[in-house]
Structure 1
Amino acid sequence: MKIKSFRSRLLLVFTALASAVLLFALIAIWLATSQQSERTLERELEVSERVFAELVDVRAQQLQQAAEVLTTDFGFREAIASSDEDTIISALVNHGQRIGTDLIVVQSPKGEEIAATHSPQLLPSLSLLTDAPVKAQFVTVNEEIFQIVTVPVRAPNLIAWATLGFAVDDDFAVLMRQLTHADITFLNLTTGVVYATSLATEQRQMMATNSNNLQQALAANNVAAHVSLFNGDSAALNTESNLMIVFSTDKLEATQEFLTLQRQYIGIAVATLIFAGLLATVTARKISQPITTLTDAAKKLGAGDYREAVTIQRADEFGALSDAFEGMRQGIAEREQQIMFQLEHDLLTGLPNRVSIRASLKRAIESSESGYVVLLNVARFGEVNDRFGQQVGDELLRMIAHRLRDAVTANWIVGHLGGDEFVLVGRQQSEPQVNSLITVLKSELSSPWWYEETSYLLDFHAGYLAYPHAADDADSLLRRAQLCARQAKRENVFAVVYSQGMDEQYLRRLQIVQALPSAVREQRLQLHFQPKLSCQNGQVLGVEALLRWRDEQLGVVRPDEFIPLAEQTGEIQRLTRWVCGAALDQLQLWHEQGLQLSLAINLSALDLQWHELVAFVTDAAKQRGLSAASITLEVTESAVMVDPEQAILRLGELRQAGFKIAIDDYGTGYASLAQLKRLPADELKLDRSFIQNIASSTADQTIVRSTILLAHELELTTVAEGIEEDSAWQVLKQLGCDTVQGFYFSRPLAAAQFEQWLHRYQREINHA
Structure 2
Amino acid sequence: MRLGITKLRTQILLFALALVLITTLVIQAISWWSANTFNQQQIAQNIITAENILRQYIRSTENNLVNSARVLTADFGFKQAVSSGDKDTIASVLANHGARINADLMLLTDLSGNLISSSRSGSNDREILSQIVQDLLQKPATAHIVMLDNRIYELILLPVMAPRTIAYSLVGFELSQTTLFELKDLTGLDLTLMNKDIPVHSTLEGFQNNERFVDEINAAHSRWLWLDRPTFVSSEFMPTSSSENPVSFLFTADLRSIYKQYDDMAYQIIFIVFLVILFATLISTVIAHTLTTPLAKLVKTANQFAKGHYDAWSEPGQASSEIRDLASALQTMGQEVKQREQVVTWQARHDALTGLLNIHTMRSTLSTIFHDYGQCVVIAMYIQNFRQINDRLGPEIADACLSALANRLNEFETEAAKTNARLEGIEFLSVIQLTPDQNPKQIVEALLATLHQPFQIGNISLSLHFYAGVCCFPEHSQDSKVMLRRVRIAADHARRNRQTIHIYEAGEDEQHLEELMLIESLQALLKQPNNIELFLNFQPKVELHNDKMETVEILIRWHRPGIGRIAPDKFIGLAEQSGLIVKLTHWVINETFKQLRIWRDQGLLLNAAINVSAEDLATQIFVII
Greater RCO, CA 8 A, separation 6+: 2
TM-score normalised by length of structure 1? 0.38
Structure index of larger Rg: 1
TM-score (norm 2): 0.46
